[in-house]
Structure 1
Amino acid sequence: MKLLTHTLCLCLALVLALPYSYEQNDNNELHHDHHVLDRCQGLEMDAVALNEHGIPLFFKGDHLFKGFHGEAEMFNESFAELDDHHLDHVDAAFHMHFEDHPNHDHMYFFLDHKVFSYHHHKLEEGYPKEISEVFPGIPDHLDAAMECPKPECEEDCIIFFKANDIYHYNVKTKAVEKKEFESMPNCTSALRFLEHYYCFHGHMFSKFDPKTGDVHGKYPKEARDIFMKCEKFSEHSDHVERERCSHVHLDAITSDHGGNMYAFRGHHFIRRDEGNDTLTANTLDHAFKEIHSHVDAVFSFNDHLHMIKGDKLYIFQDDEPHALMDGYPKSVKEELGVEGPIDAAFVCEDHHIAHIVKGNHIFDVELKASPRVAENEQTISLFEKIDAAKCDSSGVKVFVGSHFYHFNSTMEFVAARALPEQHRISVELFGCDH
């Protein structure tokens, strides 16, 4: 009996020591409890790839994280047949994005000597296959993979990584060129995003030239600073650089009466001073302590910042320190005549109309009226949802994901049928190099 008790205690201790907890489904199958996985703890991802909508997927064990924030989910929820083959992780993954290639928009997953090909989240007939059959000349047990279109590479190719070896696989001729990228660390996963190339190693990353492997600038850097939306960051993080260069979408953006810009993301915001373009970063909890974190929309009116979070409106003085006005917060419905939450809000220069965006609908609120009423409802043609918007003397900037779009007026924004030129937030708004 003592031996049995000792054995049971040992087994329990081993289970508690595992990095993931487990839950049992109706079929008595054990699955990882995805709530245990926290990307902000510095996980080393097994693979990273864009999906067909350009959203990064981060793979860890039999889970994946979609985009830059949110909890993990089982990868068989998106790629069901992987479970049929008892995959508990993938070695590498990439999205084939060459429009003239027969397998355009396919996603490939690699494990050991096998490759899986998915189209619209369905496993292609005949897969999995041997890697050597689909990609002749490419070794088994890969570390990472990524696509590289011409002219960013000499020809349209897939770059495969295994330890110190790098293989450029020509997707048209199937020729393989083996290279050594001496200045690069060994990649545990790799990603092409916004025409830049990233090698992840542990929870760090380096940006590199896909032709030569050269790494320019101060690398490695924290992946959590740029590719994740986390409350807390490494003590070694440069907070201004993180907010400048992050690819995570903005929650809200506005300019105060002095022309100083405020851009909000998660628990942090970045301020750019008018005239000298100085950038500073701070936490909402420090500067707007009643908000704590995560605002839905912000607009400036009458020398005050109007900050919307859920169904509440907070009004702060836009001069520092940002004091909350007496009596606030109040309900968005009471103050603006529209139910919260909302997606974006902006007021154009020297005007007193707040433009309120919910989904693909926009309302006008006369801020000098009492009571205020949301009226003139219109449908936005180009976007189902936006993240943020601001208006100044140059027109309206609309923020979606990692990009923004410029329109000459609110009317043009609402009525437009074709997307204007796409601008990168990190590069063109904040002067980051990627």
Structure 2
Amino acid sequence: MKLFVGFLWGIFVLSRCRAAPAHSDVVMTDQAEEHPEESHYDVTLDRCGGIEFDAIAPDEKGNIFFFKGDHLWKGFSGPPELANGTFQELDEYHHLGHVDAAFRMHNKDEYDPKGHDHMFFFLKEKVFSYYQHALEKGFPVDIRQIFPGIPSFIDAAVECPKGECTTDSILFFKGRDVYSFDIKTKTVKQKVWTHLPNCTSVLRWVEHYYCFHGTNFTRFHPVSGEVSGVYPKDARRYFMSCPNFGHGEAHRKPRCKLDAITTDITGKSYAFTGSLYIRLDKPHDGSHHFPITRSWKEVSGPVDAVFSFGDKMYIIQESQVYIYKSAAHYTLIEGYPKSVREELGVDGPVDAAFVCADEHVAHIIQGQKMIDIDLAATPRAVKSETSLPVGKVDAATCDSEGVKLFVGPEFFLYQSPKVLAVSKISPEAQKIPPGVFGCEHKET
């Protein structure tokens, strides 16, 4: 019988059965090197006191697990727990030592067209595959059976889907050596990233890649290993809630009030509030806000409106428009920003804007009026103008449910732009869902 190794392949002859953050270079002591098992099991389990994690990985629900010795932490706050309480079978192989590396895999291919999430754990020369926290039958097996060409005793591993890497891949780290494993062809390319610290764990989170080393982390590009920005940073300030470690704006839940919202042609959805944004279509990664400059580095500060048309995203800030090419990483189109007047034929500023799928009309909201602009026309000019039944609109979007106008902590739903244009009264207001937008309704 064939062992079904998830979506990865299905060519191994064995039995088959299915069984979100707030946030070092530490050198091991001579005693730790001489007694490696003690260095992992005799730790003080206070991650706020400074811990170099053995592995970090999310599960299929987006819960991020931090592993150290025979313990783990679930999420960014809370006490440590025994790892065998969640991953029972690991205790049966305790003689293998601590978890060397772990990652979540979600990949749809010809071996598993439905696709599902697995967690892979690496302990010395063995690999374990878990589905919904249960060990899949036939595991553990030698790493080379599942990942030929990958050495034993790896330090870290992380999934890198096509679009972020050249192909659907797994990145394995051992010292400064990085092994890029092509999931489909099962070929390996080895490279050396001397500029990156030795990663004891690596986490992919909302399309960003983090190398953890000591109590610090460094964000890097998964293809080149390039590090942009000021790193390393202390993980305790970003990936966990620790007293005496201040958290930046990006690690507090903002009020449920949006500045802008859109979904691009690739299906990626974003909501903007203040100088932050949240990715809405990645529930498996949990809800967390990031600085806008992380994905759109040329845009500083809050935005007024955002809409997507074709393969481009339009970000309006005061009297200027930034147009980005939608891809794995957004790229500002040469020659931008330009003025709102030059690009859209109206003067800024703009309160909100939206474009419905399969349409080429930008609905620009200023005060209590909605201005329709034909994006297929050159030059662009006002097509029509109507009055709105609501007061000042903060953000707007058009999706499968209809047109949503966000006003403060609430939104109003209309069946279509045409219905919105002829409406004389507002429908019943609905509260912005905190769980979706990672926000909270605060008392005024």
Per the normalisation by structure 1, the TM-score is 0.51
| Structure 1 residue corresponding to 2:193, chosen from 175, 181, 197 | 181
SS state at 1:132 partner = helix
| Structure 2 residue corresponding to 1:148, chosen from 148, 156, 160 | 160
Q: Distance in 1 between matches of 2:39 and 2:187?
A: 41
SS state at 2:238 partner = helix
Tell whether 2:220 aligns with 1:220: no
The residue that corresponds to 2:366 in the other structure is: none
Q: CA offset at residue 98 of structure 1? A: 1.3
Deviations 1:343-364 (A, max 9, x none): xxxxxxxxxxxxxxxxxxxxxx
| Structure 2 residue corresponding to 1:129, chosen from 130, 133, 141 | 141
The residue that corresponds to 1:120 in the other structure is: 132
The residue that corresponds to 2:118 in the other structure is: 106
Q: Distance in 2 between matches of 1:209 and 1:19?
A: 31
Q: Distance in 1 between matches of 2:207 and 2:227?
A: 15
Q: Distance in 2 between matches of 1:112 and 1:37?
A: 23
| Structure 1 residue corresponding to 2:85, chosen from 58, 61, 77 | 77
Quickly say closer, same or farther: Cα 1:142–1:261, change in 2 above 3 A: closer
The residue that corresponds to 1:243 in the other structure is: 248
Deviations 1:91-121 (A, max 9, x none): 0000011133637411100011000111111
Quickly say closer, same or farther: Cα 1:254–1:408, change in 2 above 3 A: closer
SS state at 1:133 partner = helix
Q: Distance in 1 between matches of 2:155 and 2:40?
A: 22
Tell whether 2:100 aligns with 1:91: yes
Gaps of 5+ in 2: 1-37, 259-272, 277-299, 303-390, 397-403, 414-427, 440-444
Trace 1:353-364 onto structure 2 (pairs within 5 A). none
Q: Distance in 1 between matches of 2:189 and 2:108?
A: 23
| Structure 2 residue corresponding to 1:64, chosen from 46, 53, 72 | 72
Q: Distance in 1 between matches of 2:429 and 2:182?
A: 43
Ranked by relative contact order (alpha carbons within 8 Å, sequence separation 6 or more), the top structure is: 2
Confirm or deny: 8 A CA contact 1:253 1:261 kept in the other structure.
no
Q: CA offset at residue 222 of structure 1? A: 0.4
Tell whether 2:214 aligns with 1:202: yes
SS state at 1:408 partner = strand
Q: Distance in 2 between matches of 1:127 and 1:204?
A: 33
Q: CA offset at residue 144 of structure 1? A: 0.2
SS state at 1:85 partner = helix
Q: Distance in 1 between matches of 2:47 and 2:118?
A: 26
Quickly say closer, same or farther: Cα 1:411–1:423, change in 2 above 3 A: closer
Gaps of 5+ in 1: 1-17, 22-31, 234-238, 264-275, 279-391, 398-405, 426-434
Quickly say closer, same or farther: Cα 1:83–1:252, change in 2 above 3 A: farther
Q: CA offset at residue 89 of structure 1? A: 1.6
Quickly say closer, same or farther: Cα 1:130–1:243, change in 2 above 3 A: same
Question: Number of residue pairs matched?
Answer: 249
Confirm or deny: 8 A CA contact 1:182 1:213 kept in the other structure.
no
Trace 1:303-342 onto structure 2 (pairs within 5 A). none
Q: CA offset at residue 250 of structure 1? A: 2.1
Q: Distance in 1 between matches of 2:202 and 2:117?
A: 18
The residue that corresponds to 1:159 in the other structure is: 171
Per the normalisation by structure 2, the TM-score is 0.50
The residue that corresponds to 2:52 in the other structure is: 44
Confirm or deny: 8 A CA contact 1:254 1:261 kept in the other structure.
no
Identity percentage over the alignment?
Answer: 46
Q: Distance in 1 between matches of 2:78 and 2:135?
A: 26
Quickly say closer, same or farther: Cα 1:183–1:115, change in 2 above 3 A: same
The residue that corresponds to 1:355 in the other structure is: none
Quickly say closer, same or farther: Cα 1:171–1:231, change in 2 above 3 A: same
Q: Distance in 1 between matches of 2:223 and 2:90?
A: 33
Q: Distance in 2 between matches of 1:229 and 1:396?
A: 31
Quickly say closer, same or farther: Cα 1:254–1:419, change in 2 above 3 A: closer
Confirm or deny: 8 A CA contact 1:254 1:262 kept in the other structure.
no
Q: What amino acid is aligned across from residue 174 of structure 2 in structure 1?
A: K
Q: CA offset at residue 84 of structure 1? A: 1.3
Q: Distance in 2 between matches of 1:49 and 1:218?
A: 24
Q: What amino acid is aligned across from residue 142 of structure 1 in structure 2?
A: I
